[in-house]
Structure 1
């Protein structure tokens, strides 16, 4: 007859697993780091999947090492053709959080507030029991600047450290309230560095707020969005990052100062209006990126220290790009790759295969339904973006619809675009259509419009744009010249 210890062992081996099998599994946490105006080529994981002439456009030795961001891609997946649905802060963010196209969010242009009826992915997760929070730039509540803690939270319950607008460099907590710590003689907030250090510099300070939230909610599912205002200008950063890349041999991109080929009317201005190349400005931009990467390292270490790495989905992305002197321009607002293409790196424990590279074209409008699906949560009513979760798990069917749509910011139509992983069609009010072959012409110098061998490609993209405009009520597609050009290209 078995002894009591032996009976206990049998019960432990055969009964205990059945009990645990019936216990609910805690949902995965979600941590998002979103930067502002970030050129994807500054990340090592993107350079690794590009030919050298595209990876090192500022020179073979002019690059930033980003080991911590790269480690997220190594564990998870990155997308090589991810686009800001409208490459300006407010409309791109509106699509990112809502899964709707900008014209249907209330925020098709900068400083236009998000409609009250918008349901963000944060709101969905909050309703499912997540602790939710947000720190950093929001830019979806109108013109307030900095406007801490907007009254409409859109599902981000702890938004004490959310501010609406601005690219401030130094923060502090005074009498329990956050404030911009760099002030002028009239006690108004400024963008000055004002001797910001590792405690007060914006990237560090906001990351610390994220770490505090994670520590507080370590035992429950959480969703936290860290929105860093860098590397958007002004191109200033605290020591030692301000001098870290000063001596790099940084040269203009190959597309800078090109006067031999015609260029699109939709870029605006003339070559006389091109910005003057400034290597020192790029060195500070690199410094901002390195500071961001080091703070991503702080976040990942905190997840490891708390045993949360395998319970937390991590996303690194940006709202839009920065041309960084490509085509003689800085910043964003047009459909060139440097402006509209963004980093999108996603690690979901147990879902994303390590090192996966996704080539299909996607947009910020697709983010909300996709991340919710990866977390086994439903997309809200009114979602217009696609659930691309099958791409991120490596299970996508071969017939995935490989086209995303872009539009200029603002109520006045200027251009619309349809993009696949290879081709980009831009139709505007100011020029003939432009068709780029991103495989043979990654610098986007040559207009392939009208080439007989690409007639079918151009026709398909035009048909797709017309169908998108009708399905999603985009007045830009309905604009007289744009619509006429699209119908002609589509064969209607």
Structure 2
């Protein structure tokens, strides 16, 4: 064989081998990485403020904001959902619906601290059966009363759950020979750990510690398809954060949001399902607590930046679906309330941004309404998993994410519920109807009244909208065996 023939065959073999590598790379199933925060107000994210008017984006005063460039980059390079709701805006039921694709009442976890039913098949279990390396890091809140409850025996498809803890909003962790543990002294009387936040470092603070464990797992599993969920316990209270984030926003002056001022001026005009009760009712702004909340968000964003940089430097970014979301919102003094549990936007609406290079067009805005029940069927479809699936309650919305259009919007009406069966709500991209046994129906027009102060239910101009939403809400409650159906129908009729 002469030199020319030898070189020709070498060239052909090289091309064939290169093509096989390229084909193998292109056919490798995508990785899935989910970052879920706890009790996160969507207005603290720049990508969500960009979708709002200036007044709505800065409800605590002109220019009062925390910048989140890394989380924003996920939306910029992928898609943002502007009407994504918790199936029930408290921790346990929302998390149950996200992992299962079912409404909370079908999971065994319709309210906080109730354990997930043994027979629940999660998206992680579906992926594990298909050869994925699966892992969970952070707060779980689906294994009953265990606290902290490290590494629950029931894994629900998350094979590596060494750094999964059941419940609690711990601020400091440490690694020991026996695994992770809360750093601090446990007080049996109060059932709380006492710790000094001043001693927190970028290795022991919860957000940093859990992110470092996440990076270790990804590095270990990077040569095979992996599914990892990182559930950060912040920015849920207590509102404490390590230096330098603890003082980063102390110079800001937080004003009363307009809904707080309106509620204080006319308290009798609020919905009766928002009557004062508990310690989450406020009448003035706590400047330090607001600044610390912003600090927690900034710490989260910086850690997300560290994660995204690792994906890029390791060559994993192109074939990894990255999701950033939360379990529910935080009222942050709107309507004189803190925390969650109400049908208002800042309680029930959650951030949801997703990046999937070469599949989801950059800068896509999805205004169609979704709930956490839609997550499992949608993300599995995005990953090409479409067989041997359980019967989800949620809708497969992958077509909305994969479409060519930069904006997607339809009139889909979804429903979400109160964990205590006191109210139910139906919502689309603009209107929201709340039925309860405590009050007359409330219909909000989120376009005309984004503050949710006006009840349009009795307005003749809204008669058709009110009737349509009532009919659809009852249909959905019947379809998904809503426990509050009978009570809600009394209001409906």
Cross-structure match for 1:122? 124
- The equivalent residue for 2:253 is 249
> How far does the alpha carbon of each residue in 1:127-154 deviate from its partner, in whole angstroms, 9 at most, with x for none?
1111000110000000110000000000
Once the two structures are TM-superposed, the CA of residue 470 in structure 1 deviates from its matched residue by: 1.2
Residues 332 and 22 of structure 1, relative CA distance in 2, 3 Å threshold: closer
Change (3 A) 1:234 1:399: closer
| Structure 2 counterpart of 1:215, from 212, 219, 223 | 219
Runs of 4+ in 1 over 6 A off after TM superposition: 185-188, 396-399
* 2: CA distance, partners of 1:76 / 1:399: 16
Instruction: List runs of 5+ in structure 1 lacking aligned partners.
Output: none
Q: Is the 8 A contact 1:57 1:253 kept in 2?
A: yes
Contact 1:167 1:191 in 2 (8 A): no
Where do 1:57-456 residues align within 5 Å? 57-184=59-186, 190=193, 192-194=195-197, 195-258=199-262, 259-260=265-266, 262-269=269-276, 274-378=282-386, 380-394=389-403, 400=410, 402-410=412-420, 413-456=421-464
Q: Secondary structure at the match of 1:159?
A: strand
Q: How far off is 1:176 after superposition?
A: 3.2
- Structure 1 residue 15: deviation in Å? 4.7
Which 5+ residue runs of structure 2 have no aligned equivalent? none
- Cα deviation digits, residues 414-473 of structure 1 (max 9, x gap): 000000100000000100000000000000000001211111111111111111111111
Please report how far the alpha carbon of residue 13 of structure 1 lies from its aligned counterpart in structure 2 after TM superposition. 7.6
CA-to-partner distance for each residue in 1:37-87, whole Å, 9 max, x for gaps?
Answer: 000000011111111011011111210010110111111001011111100
- After superposition, the CA RMSD in angstroms is 2.2
Contact 1:134–1:162 (CA under 8 A) maintained in structure 2: yes
Q: Please give the TM-score of this superposition, normalised by the length of structure 2.
A: 0.93
**Residue 12 (structure 2) pairs with residue 11 (structure 1):** yes
3-state SS of the aligned residue for 2:175?
strand
Could you tell me how far 1:7 is from its partner in structure 2?
2.1
Deviation for aligned residue 1:381:
1.4
After superposition, residues 12-31 of structure 1 pair within 5 angstroms as 12=13, 15=16, 19=20, 23=24, 25-31=27-33
Contact 1:99 1:365 in 2 (8 A): yes
Counterpart Cα distance in 1 of 2:98 and 2:360: 20
* TM-score for both structures, normalised by structure 1: 0.94
Deviates further, 387-396 or 227-236 = 387-396
- Cα distance between partner residues in 2 of 1:126 and 1:270: 44
